[in-house]
Amino acid sequence: MTVRTVEGSCSHVVVVGAGLAGLSAALQLAGRGRAVTVVERGTHPGGRVGRMDVDGYRLDTGPTVLTMPDIVEDAFAAVGESMADRLELMPVQPCYHASFADGSGLDVHSDPAAMAAEVERLAGAGQAEGYRRLRDWLTRLYRVEFDGFIAANFDSPLSLLTPQLARLAAIGGFRRWDRMVRRFISDERLRRVFTFQALYAGVPPQRALAVYAVIAYMDTVAGVYFPRGGMRAMPDALAAAASDAGVEFRYGRAVSSLERRGDRVTAVHTDTGERIAADAVVLTTELPDTYRLLGRTPRRVLRLRHAPSAVVAHVGCRAGQPAPAGAGHHTIVFGDSWDQTFRDIIDDGRVMGDPSLLVTRPTASDPSLAPPGRDLLYILAPAPNTVVGKVDWADSGRTYPQHMLDRVVDRLPHLGVDAELLHTVDPAGWERQGMAAGTPFALAHTFAQTGPFRPANIVRGIDNVVLAGSSTVPGVGVPTALLSGRLAADRITGVPAGHRNSQVVQT
């Protein structure tokens, strides 16, 4: 299979945005001999991997779950570096703890024997055997899917017509996520553990394609990690490696316009009055900003559908409280009305009537992220985005975070002693940060927004601009953002020898 690449000289590439996609693209391009300039409106790298310092607490305001470290390693390797020399990733054991409304709980382990033992303790030997078969299926799904679907560029839906597609269909990749999981396990609590990731995809598991169960593979099979120093340590390390490889970073500059000559962009202009000449440009901006800069309106039969949003509360509390076994770094507090959760936030546009929450305690892995004697909590509640939402966040934004904290303390009483709300953000807040539809999770992974049907990373009629980031291929998440940067680089240089993607040639 051949896919389009940028024609002509591409010796100097301007990357707009120093988020994970932009950093990945910059590293890949620098490693392939291109001169790279990264223009970033903020004062530091990271993009959605945000940060904030409050009264001695070091907050991660973006993603907190890190999986697939080999993809992070690939970004460093692009410039001949080793991740271990730049970044310390600590395995999170267990990956997380699931707390159910009936009072039961489950430690989720990436080790198959430890996880099977936990499943048997919770639900019996039959479910443990089902877990083993489910794990095997998830692993096969990932291996079939990665090269031909996740880490691949597409020019059209015809790009899907490959032997990998047939294998993916044969193992159930295009059936429904929830239905496939039910083939292996029947315990409702266990099914939640292997389908809650559908919230990241923005589609209920009953409607989501089973191909996205690969997210459950990343969480429950490949394992979860945490960078020493917090999630911000990852973009800092990537940016440092890029800088040492010759990439120029210009922080505190927003791109105001693109200068064009015919079908090519010849320069990037910033709000500080700079003109930066470019042979090619990688845009990692939010999709509305991208189309505004390009002067284009997307031609789509169906309206773009955004993923749900979230309310995030950062809480400081007293450390040293005795914690039950397994309640360490990540805890998922499941409500009783699980199916209603998706209807509330996706269909009805309201907050969850019976909340299910992600509680992250980064100080379980790195106590230096809070003042001495204190713990730091990150509490995330899925919420409707601002397109479908019927919530007045000017009012609810003041009360809902406390409601979230009360639910956590009720279910996890060892947390929240002497609690103080440090910072909160809701869908209206994400929207003020420039995120379309007030969601940090970009476009939902519906069938019409999957693979070649997702907004492409090339732009019709503009020959030397490539897109990267959550709103284009392959999608939302830390690993996929890094892959997005690599796919953008592949569009500019072609796939270098040794990479597993299909051969790319100029057309």
The H-assigned helical ranges of 295-345 are 338-342
- DSSP class of residue 453 equals G
Contacts of 410 (CB under 8 A, 6+ apart): none
Distance CA 15, CA 12 (A): 10
Structure tokens at 114: 């430890």
Q: Are 95 and 222 in contact (CB under 8 A)?
A: no
- Predicted pLDDT of residue 156: 63
Pairing of strands 374-383, 357-360: antiparallel
Comparing C-alpha atoms, which of 426, 454, 449 is closest to residue 438? 426
- Predicted pLDDT of residue 504: 32
- Predicted pLDDT of residue 334: 96
* pTM of the predicted structure, to 2 decimals: 0.95
Give ∠ CA 96-99-102 in degrees, rounded to 5.
160
| C-alpha to C-alpha distances, 482 to 71, 281, 468, 486, nearest whole angstrom | 7, 17, 9, 7
- Predicted pLDDT of residue 407: 95
Q: Are 481 and 21 in contact (CB under 8 A)?
A: yes
294 — alpha (psi -120 to 50), left (phi > 0) or beta?
A: alpha
> What is the full per-residue pLDDT of the chain (507 aa) written as tens digits?
567 899 988 999 999 999 999 999 999 999 999 999 999 999 999 999 999 999 999 999 999 999 999 999 999 999 999 999 999 999 999 999 999 999 999 999 999 999 999 999 999 999 999 999 999 999 999 999 887 777 778 766 666 667 777 888 899 998 999 999 999 999 999 999 999 988 877 889 999 989 989 999 999 999 999 999 999 999 999 999 999 999 999 999 999 999 999 999 999 999 999 999 999 999 999 999 999 999 987 666 568 899 999 999 999 999 976 655 555 899 999 999 988 999 999 999 999 999 999 999 999 999 999 999 999 999 999 999 999 999 999 999 999 999 999 999 999 988 889 999 999 999 999 999 999 999 999 998 887 787 777 888 999 899 999 999 999 989 889 999 999 999 999 999 999 876 654 333 332
- Max distance between CA atoms of the chain, in angstroms, equals 67
The three-state secondary structure class of 308 is coil
Distance CA 174, CA 154 (A): 18
Structure tokens at 497: 């020898």
